[in-house]
């Protein structure tokens, strides 16, 4: 039986990688040491220019403020806000995934022990929307009409910690459920490919030394004595 | 009213590994075969093409290559008295959908069973008497021996271009392989893949423990390879996108890369994707299948008559199809009667993470799916189960199928989940940590079984499959033993810190945490029609023109990944169909 496949795919892919991989080596080496991991593209955690389509203005204020607390800008690397995570969240909430496309969403919805995971009726986008509404209502009630974004950073942190620990009583939704979904989404946005809206300039990848979408490491499997030298590339082929 | 298609010789439900193998073998025999696949058609080009395929958000969050649970899922409960709830989000196990099935998004670990694994009950009783086996443990011998399966296991490795080092060839122990393995007729088709750091260090640590480390047999090609079907594989480039992903490089063995290129050319093979099989249709006697009924892409109900029906869906859905079709008698744990659903088992997976300083370059983004290092010193007859007080062996291994930050970054115990301290920890540890895993066997028990759920329905109105499963004290004890051994071994490497996740006494099965897609049993093979749904050729005892191929046939699970044995059993069953059944259709074993 003759081979029905094109015999060249791996070869042609390899040539492609030579193009991407070898060129930046020389320019990349100086900036790639452990100590030199760049601290992101922006110096401040200013809100983005992006105009949200899913989140309403008050929700957006919460999203930006919460992102800034969950992954703050610091000497280690870029913060979530400057990385575009709020934009990621807004766009991600508009996907079929956030509407429960791959979750089983038929009832009855029973209470079950934690080992059985999420058993609620809200989709991801509704978990965030209902959760933000509930925490905003909690803030206004508790802090003389102030929303989450208007609180001091330390107050915001305390609230998020309480939500994470399940110590915050919110109306209509479990604070722990809301928090765990929010945090997972913030991390997804921080680390996913930049074309989703977050991880601007591949700053999060540079912070941890992830080469991104290079996906070709045979020459480095057995190297032990030096750090992987190449900076990241993203899905569009851009180099970080 | 269903539209009826012209009758064919054989209809195959599901186009993963077993469906592709059966389709190849039956079309070889000249049969006209129709394959019905619930998901989309997929091929390396364009579905797994770089760069789109290496998108972590798509692969590991949106789970593009896995089954969507929106249409079909299972319900799960711990015990008979509990009410089961749906498996709503992918967690503990990850069935596939689409052409290639789980065989396109697996990692590539490709083990053979040990000879003694296939005669587990009699072996344990012979070594320790009947007393070691708890009263509720329903383990059985496989009704087929290692020697009978060897040619079929061998062929499947050659189809997959498995890369490894033989330990025993024709009874002679080979340097560098697993000295405890069953004797093989031949060396692996390809040599082992290169060692990443954790796999290399495993050799040092395991040898200090007095163990015999060897390369994990991996169906990730270490060289260019042309398999016996003429399908070409390219050498793995260590891209780090194996588990959850289709292979971009024709390196990871899959039905798509290793079998379908041949099938797609055959005039006597027809693949119909987007075909959701609802049931196997039986004649008035209930003893003969007349074909299957399915929904096509437009949702029209179609009847496909066939002389032979081969169920090759994911193991859980094979059992589901038997139950909703009325093939065989459903198992009842109260009366201990019936067979379909009996002996559900799983896998006992645990992890030890090692954190190192910044001069240790673990580079976890590098990945070669199944490749790595393991050892069999705590598996099979090497383990003194009588002394330890549990049944079943296991492996400790170094594997690195590839990690990225969306898939998660391991951080030392006590690290906060967010904020600057978390950032510092992920920055410090991403490139400087790796993990070893402990993969233990999982026994079957009278109270662990599959049945139809009384409440929840799938998108087609059928009852969902209900799984009743929990960790038994036997598996918890095993987990604690193996993790302790793995931690002791890892200590040799002097990491900055370690984190192990041995199961605690009384720990319950957690469906949110991934711990392998190795769901086994439920429609098991056996010698006794009272305690098995299938005979030794994976043929239904009650409906002999139905064969049910997959890990559903395992009476219990051993310490290895199941795919090697699943493929071997598929070729074993296919050979029986070709050489015996087609000449005289009927039961291949008298009940």
From first to last of the 240 residues of chain A, give the pLDDT tens digit: 334 333 333 333 333 333 333 333 333 333 333 333 333 333 344 555 899 999 999 999 999 999 999 999 999 999 999 999 999 999 999 999 999 999 999 999 999 999 999 999 999 999 999 999 999 999 999 999 999 999 999 999 999 999 999 999 999 999 999 999 999 999 999 999 999 999 999 999 999 999 999 999 999 999 999 999 999 999 999 998
Q: How many residues does chain B have?
A: 591
Is the confidence at residue B323, as pLDDT, over 70? yes
Q: Domain count of chain B?
A: 1
Question: Using CA of residue B483, residue B488, residue B489, residue B492, what is the dihedral sign?
Answer: positive
Q: What are phi and psi of B127, to 5 degrees?
A: -80, -40
Q: Which pLDDT score, from 0 to 100, does residue B542 have? A: 98
Question: Are B57 and A7 inside 8 Å of each other by CB?
Answer: no
Question: CA-CA distance, A190 to A82, in Å (whole number)?
Answer: 10
Q: Tell me, yes or no, if A15 comes closer than 8 A to chain B by beta carbon.
A: no
| Beta carbons within 10 angstroms of residue B83's beta carbon | 13
Nearest CA in chain B to A124: B89
Whether B428 contacts B421, CB under 8 Å = no
Place of tokens 């031949």: B186
A116 closest CB neighbour out of B76, B239, B241:
B76
Show the tokens assigned to A10.
């791996």
CB within 8 A of B351, min separation 6: which ones?
B435, B436, B437, B438, B500, B501
Q: Residue B267, exposed/middle/buried by CB under 10 A (0-12, 13-18, 19+)?
A: exposed
Q: Which pLDDT score, from 0 to 100, does residue B591 have? A: 83
Q: Residue B72, exposed/middle/buried by CB under 10 A (0-12, 13-18, 19+)?
A: buried
Q: Is B288 contained in some domain?
A: yes
Q: Which pLDDT score, from 0 to 100, does residue A128 have? A: 98
| Min distance A198 CA to chain B CA atoms (Å) | 12
Round the average pLDDT of chain B to a whole number and report it. Answer: 97
Question: Are A207 and B427 inside 8 Å of each other by CB?
Answer: yes
CB within 8 A of B267, min separation 6: which ones?
none
Of B17, B90, B52, B82, nearest in space to A234 by CA: B52
Whether B561 contacts B216, CB under 8 Å = no
Question: Are A183 and B195 inside 8 Å of each other by CB?
Answer: no
| Beta carbons within 10 angstroms of residue A120's beta carbon | 15
Whether A55 contacts A67, CB under 8 Å = no
Is the confidence at residue B62, as pLDDT, over 60? yes
Place of tokens 């978990």: A127
Question: Are B420 and A97 inside 8 Å of each other by CB?
Answer: no
Q: Is B46 contained in some domain?
A: yes
Q: Which pLDDT score, from 0 to 100, does residue A34 have? A: 36
What mean pLDDT do residues B380-408 have?
A: 97
Q: Which pLDDT score, from 0 to 100, does residue B215 have? A: 98
Q: Is B530 contained in some domain?
A: yes
Question: CA-CA distance, B315 to B321, in Å (whole number)?
Answer: 10
Residues from chain B contacting residue A97 (CB–CB below 8 Å): 61-62
Convert the pLDDT of each residue in B479-502 to its tens digit.
999 999 999 999 999 999 999 889
Where exactly are the structural domains of chain A?
Answer: 39-210
Is the confidence at residue B139, as pLDDT, over 80? yes
Show the tokens assigned to B379.
């598996």
Q: Residue B205, exposed/middle/buried by CB under 10 A (0-12, 13-18, 19+)?
A: buried
Cis amide bond preceding B51, omega within 30? yes
A188 closest CB neighbour out of B57, B236, B250:
B57
Q: Which domain holds residue B81?
A: 3-54+61-581
Question: CA-CA distance, A31 to A80, in Å (whole number)?
Answer: 22
Question: Between A and B, how many residue pairs show a Cβ–Cβ distance under 8 A?
Answer: 217
Q: Which pLDDT score, from 0 to 100, does residue A48 have? A: 55
Question: Are B404 and A118 inside 8 Å of each other by CB?
Answer: no
Q: Is B591 contained in some domain?
A: no
What ranges make up the beta strands (E) of B125-176?
168-169, 172-173
Residues of B marked active site are found at: 518
CA distances from B408 to A101, A209, A240, B591 (A): 22, 14, 21, 51
Show the tokens assigned to B569.
């059993």
Whether A110 contacts A117, CB under 8 Å = no
Share of chain B above pLDDT 70, in %: 100
Question: CA-CA distance, B212 to B192, in Å (whole number)?
Answer: 16
Whether B391 contacts B132, CB under 8 Å = yes
Q: Which pLDDT score, from 0 to 100, does residue B1 have? A: 64
The domain spanning residue B477 has which CATH number? 3.50.50.60
DSSP class of A233: B
């Amino acid at each position: 039986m003759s081979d029905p496949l094109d015999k060249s795919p791996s070869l042609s892919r390899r040539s492609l990688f030579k193009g991407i991989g070898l060129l930046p080596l020389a320019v990349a080496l100086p900036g790639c040491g452990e100590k030199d991991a760049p601290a992101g593209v922006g110096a401040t955690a200013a809100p983005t220019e992006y105009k949200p389509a899913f989140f309403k203005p008050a929700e957006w204020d919460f999203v930006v403020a919460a992102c800034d607390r969950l992954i703050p800008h610091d000497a280690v690397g870029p913060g979530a806000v400057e990385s575009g995570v709020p934009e990621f969240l807004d766009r991600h909430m508009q996907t079929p995934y956030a509407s429960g496309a791959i979750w089983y969403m038929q009832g009855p919805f029973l209470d079950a022990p934690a080992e059985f995971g999420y058993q609620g009726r809200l989709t991801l986008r509704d978990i965030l929307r209902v959760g933000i509404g509930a925490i905003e209502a909690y803030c206004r009630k508790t802090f003389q009409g102030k929303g989450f974004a208007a609180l001091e950073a330390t107050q915001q942190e305390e609230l998020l910690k309480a939500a994470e620990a399940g110590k915050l009583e919110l109306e209509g939704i479990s604070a722990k459920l809301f928090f765990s979904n929010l945090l997972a989404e913030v991390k997804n946005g921080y680390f996913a490919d930049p074309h989703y809206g977050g991880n601007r300039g591949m700053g999060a990848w540079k912070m941890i030394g992830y080469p991104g979408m290079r996906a070709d490491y045979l020459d480095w499997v057995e190297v032990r004595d030096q750090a992987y030298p190449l900076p990241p590339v993203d899905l569009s082929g851009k180099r970080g | 009213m269903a539209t009826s298609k012209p009758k064919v010789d054989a209809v195959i439900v599901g186009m993963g590994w077993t469906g592709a193998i059966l389709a190849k073998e039956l079309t070889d025999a000249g049969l006209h075969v129709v394959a019905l696949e619930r998901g989309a058609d997929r091929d390396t080009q364009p579905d797994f093409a770089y760069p789109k395929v290496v998108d972590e958000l798509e692969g590991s969050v949106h789970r593009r290559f896995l089954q969507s649970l929106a249409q079909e899922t299972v319900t799960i409960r711990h015990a008979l008295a509990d009410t089961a709830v749906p498996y709503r989000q992918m967690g503990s196990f990850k069935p596939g959908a689409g052409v290639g099935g789980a065989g396109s998004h697996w990692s590539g670990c490709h083990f053979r069973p040990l000879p003694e694994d296939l005669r587990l009950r009699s072996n344990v009783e012979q070594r320790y008497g009947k007393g070691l086996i708890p009263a509720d443990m329903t383990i059985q011998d496989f009704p087929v021996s290692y020697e009978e399966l060897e040619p079929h296991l061998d062929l499947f490795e050659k189809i997959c271009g498995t890369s490894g080092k033989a330990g025993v060839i024709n009874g002679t122990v080979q340097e560098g392989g697993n000295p405890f393995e069953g004797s093989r007729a031949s060396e692996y088709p390809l040599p082992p893949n290169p060692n990443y750091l954790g796999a290399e260090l495993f050799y040092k640590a395991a040898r200090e423990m007095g163990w015999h480390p060897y390369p994990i047999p991996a169906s990730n090609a270490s060289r260019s390879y042309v398999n016996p079907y003429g399908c070409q594989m390219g050498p793995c480039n260590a891209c780090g996108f194996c588990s959850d992903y289709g292979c971009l490089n024709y390196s990871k063995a899959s039905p798509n890369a290793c079998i379908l290129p041949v099938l797609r050319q055959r005039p006597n093979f027809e693949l119909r994707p987007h075909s959701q099989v609802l049931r196997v249709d039986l004649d008035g006697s209930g003893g003969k299948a007349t074909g299957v009924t399915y929904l096509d892409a437009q949702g029209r109900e179609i009847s496909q008559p066939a002389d032979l029906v081969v169920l090759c869906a994911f193991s859980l859905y094979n059992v589901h199809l038997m139950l909703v079709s009325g093939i065989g008698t459903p198992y009842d744990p109260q009366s201990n009667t019936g067979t379909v659903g009996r002996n559900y088992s799983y896998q006992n997976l645990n992890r030890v993470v090692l954190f190192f300083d910044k001069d240790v370059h673990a580079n976890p983004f590098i990945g070669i799916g199944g490749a790595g290092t393991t050892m069999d010193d705590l598996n099979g007859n090497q383990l003194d189960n009588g002394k330890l007080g549990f049944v079943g062996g296991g492996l400790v291994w170094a594997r690195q199928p590839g990690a990225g930050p969306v898939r998660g970054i391991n951080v030392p115990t006590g690290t906060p989940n967010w904020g600057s301290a978390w950032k510092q920890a992920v920055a410090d540890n991403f490139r400087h940590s790796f993990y070893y895993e402990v993969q233990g066997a999982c026994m079957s028990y009278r109270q662990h079984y599959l049945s139809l759920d009384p409440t929840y329905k799938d998108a087609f109105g059928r009852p969902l499959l209900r799984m009743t499963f929990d960790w038994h004290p036997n598996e918890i004890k095993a987990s604690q033993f193996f993790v302790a051994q793995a931690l002791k071994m890892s200590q040799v490497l002097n990491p900055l810190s370690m984190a192990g996740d041995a199961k605690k006494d009384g720990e319950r099965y957690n469906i949110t945490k991934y711990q392998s897609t190795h769901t086994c049993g439920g429609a098991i093979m056996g010698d006794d029609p009272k305690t098995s749904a299938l005979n030794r050729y994976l043929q239904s005892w009650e409906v002999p023109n139905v064969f049910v191929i997959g890990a559903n046939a395992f009476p219990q699970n051993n310490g290895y990944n199941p795919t090697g044995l699943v493929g071997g059993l598929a070729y074993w069953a296919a050979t029986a169909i070709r050489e015996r059944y087609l000449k005289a259709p009927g039961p291949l074993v008298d009940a």
